[in-house]
Amino acid sequence: MTAKTKSWILMATGRSPTNIAVIKYWGKRDEALILPVNDSISVTLDPDHLSATTTVAVSPTFDCDRMWLNGKEISLSGDRFQNCLREIRKLAGDVEDEKKGIRIRKEDWQNLHVHIASYNNFPTAAGLASSAAGFACLVFTLAKLMNVNEDHGKLSSIARQGSGSACRSLYGGFVKWTMGNDASGSDSIAVQLAPESHWSDLVIIIAVVSSKQKETSSTTGMRDTVETSPLLQHRAQCVVPARVLLMEEAIRNHDFASFARMTCVDNNQFRAVCLDTTWTWQLIFLNTTRQIAEACFLMKWIIFEVAYTFDAGLNAALISPNRKVAGLASKAAICFPPSPENDLASYVTGDKSIIYEAGLQSMKYVEALPPPPEYKDESPCQKSTRDVSYFICTKLGTGPKVLTEESLALINPTTGLPM
Ligand code: ADE
């Protein structure tokens, strides 16, 4: 390692999207390596609305690896962070910055420490796959900083060791996580099925039902399911393999009816294995208000050309073949009206053009429509209306990107600390 100046800081910033599974990952066959019991398929969401941005910095003056998430320092001592840092350091290459007069040889990376600052533009740990975007971004950005010369498949297998579904966030569009067979996990990687341009008119509306932290982690829930659900084995071995093939075909052919059917039935079976699990994970679903919220969604939308899927939290994602769903969004705002103190501008966020087409830019538009008859004051559905915190209108998005503008960096280039 050489440098003309004694102390220097080298940085890279990246942004990675989150994703929502349409064929669900639920259950690990290896907990340490995060190897799943079945393949899964996801859609990558537009990073403008749901993404993690991460800056990584390296300097000989840093004396340990440190990380700040959304401005707060967090521990990197857990296995998931340690596994990602170790695996990416193994692949690090030589780095030269002529302007700064810095030269780092690949063997130097073992002794250099990094500072990491990350920011999610959506609620962390609400079930919106923040760790998927976060670990994909961490691995992708470290790979840029350390000049790792590997394809995204290899990077996806490292991100997987941070958070399973993170491997799918290494690509845009439609992505498959192949479960693999090897005990080392080397073939448990993500592959892109089709880029976002393949089916660009799909519209995705996320109903953020609760932006609070989940009460039971997915890790605990999955472990309980693997240990106690007889249905899981049937799902993994007899159902998902055929369903994955049908989903791939539906995506290839832009066959929305089949895509929607597969998405909904797979969501239902994911819920079924959760219900087939001992009480820890089930607690999440026993909350009546939440069940009612779910029932309302299903009743309201199943008759339209819309796919629904819930994430491992409580948030619903509605996918439509085109902007027709924008009209449905306005219905959603009627079934789940904002609290009096909220205006629509903060209640429905995301792609402004979808919101505009729905007429949702005007609160008056929604107020002018009569509420559906079933939403009487005393009905249980009425009680659930406040459960939707807000809606995010979005679409398919791209994979990770390097952000070159210095103004977007989250670490001060002089102090090496978060901005
Ligand atoms: N978990 C949740 N968000 C994260 C992020 N941005 N980076 C790493 N881990 C995370």
The pLDDT profile of the chain, 419 residues, written as one tens digit per residue, is 665 456 899 999 999 999 999 999 999 999 999 999 999 999 999 999 999 999 999 999 999 999 999 999 999 999 999 999 999 999 999 999 998 899 999 999 999 999 999 999 877 655 677 899 999 999 999 999 999 999 999 999 999 999 999 999 999 999 999 999 999 999 999 999 999 999 999 988 887 776 555 666 788 889 999 999 999 999 999 999 999 999 999 999 999 989 999 998 998 899 889 889 886 555 555 444 455 455 555 545 544 567 888 877 677 788 888 876 556 554 555 455 566 666 666 667 777 677 666 555 443 333 433 443 343 343 333 333 445 677 788 999 999 999 999 999 999 999 999 99
Backbone angles phi, psi at 353, to 5 degrees: -70, -35
- Ligand 1 mutation pick, 53, 74, 77, 124, max ligand atoms within 8 A of CB: 124
Ligand 1 neighbourhood includes 124 CB (under 6 angstroms): yes
Ligand 1 neighbourhood includes 188 CB (under 6 angstroms): no
Residue 130 Cα to ligand 1 midpoint, Å, equals 6
74 and 8 within one domain? yes
pLDDT of residue 298: 55
3-state secondary structure of 326: helix
- Strand 28-30, strand 19-23: pairing: unpaired
β-sheet bridge partners, residue 339: none
Q: What is the DSSP letter of 164?
A: G
Residue range of the domain that includes 334: 203-395
Ligand 1 neighbourhood includes 127 CB (under 6 angstroms): no
Q: For atom 9 of ligand 1, which residue has the closest CA?
A: 134
On whether residue 419 sits in a domain, the answer given is: no
Check: CB of residue 319 under 8 Å from CB of residue 306.
Answer: yes
Which residue in this structure is represented by tokens 């559906």? 372
Specify the number of domains making up the chain: 2
The CATH number of whichever domain residue 37 belongs to comes to 3.30.230.10
139 and 92 within one domain? yes
- 84-87 long-range contacts, Cβ below 8 Å, gap at least 24? 84/135, 84/138, 84/139, 84/142, 84/158, 84/159, 84/161, 84/162, 85/114, 85/142, 87/158, 87/161
Ligand 1 neighbourhood includes 131 CB (under 6 angstroms): yes
251 and 150 within one domain? no
372 and 226 within one domain? yes
- Alpha carbon separation from 21 to 39, 41, 140 (Å, rounded): 11, 6, 21
- Alpha carbon separation from 353 to 49, 59, 172, 321, 380 (Å, rounded): 13, 43, 21, 16, 33
208 and 180 within one domain? no
Residues in CB range of 39: below 8 A, 6 or more apart = 23, 176, 177, 178, 179, 240, 241, 244
Q: For atom 6 of ligand 1, which residue has the closest CA?
A: 134
Nearest to 261 by CA among 271, 273, 246, 277: 246
On whether residue 28 sits in a domain, the answer given is: yes
216 and 137 within one domain? no
62 and 20 within one domain? yes
Residue 53 Cα to ligand 1 midpoint, Å, equals 9
Ligand 1 neighbourhood includes 135 CB (under 6 angstroms): yes
Ligand 1 neighbourhood includes 130 CB (under 6 angstroms): yes
Ligand 1 neighbourhood includes 126 CB (under 6 angstroms): no
Atom of ligand 1 nearest to the CA of 119: 6
Ligand 1 neighbourhood includes 291 CB (under 6 angstroms): no
321 and 250 within one domain? yes
Check: CB of residue 21 under 8 Å from CB of residue 240.
Answer: no
On whether residue 75 sits in a domain, the answer given is: yes
pLDDT of residue 336: 57
140 and 10 within one domain? yes
On whether residue 359 sits in a domain, the answer given is: yes
pLDDT of residue 417: 97
Ligand 1 neighbourhood includes 128 CB (under 6 angstroms): no
pLDDT of residue 217: 79
Atom of ligand 1 nearest to the CA of 52: 6
Ligand 1 neighbourhood includes 118 CB (under 6 angstroms): yes
297 and 175 within one domain? no
The CATH number of whichever domain residue 212 belongs to comes to 3.30.70.890
User: What token pair was written down for 40?
Assistant: 């899964």
126 and 90 within one domain? yes
3-state secondary structure of 152: helix
Q: What is the DSSP letter of 236?
A: I
141 and 24 within one domain? yes
User: What token pair was written down for 165?
Assistant: 């579904």
Residue 286 Cα to ligand 1 midpoint, Å, equals 28
pLDDT of residue 306: 75
- Tell me the CA end-to-end span of the chain in Å, nearest whole number: 27
pLDDT of residue 236: 98
Complete DSSP assignment for 334-357: HHSPPPTT--HHHHEEE-HHHHHH
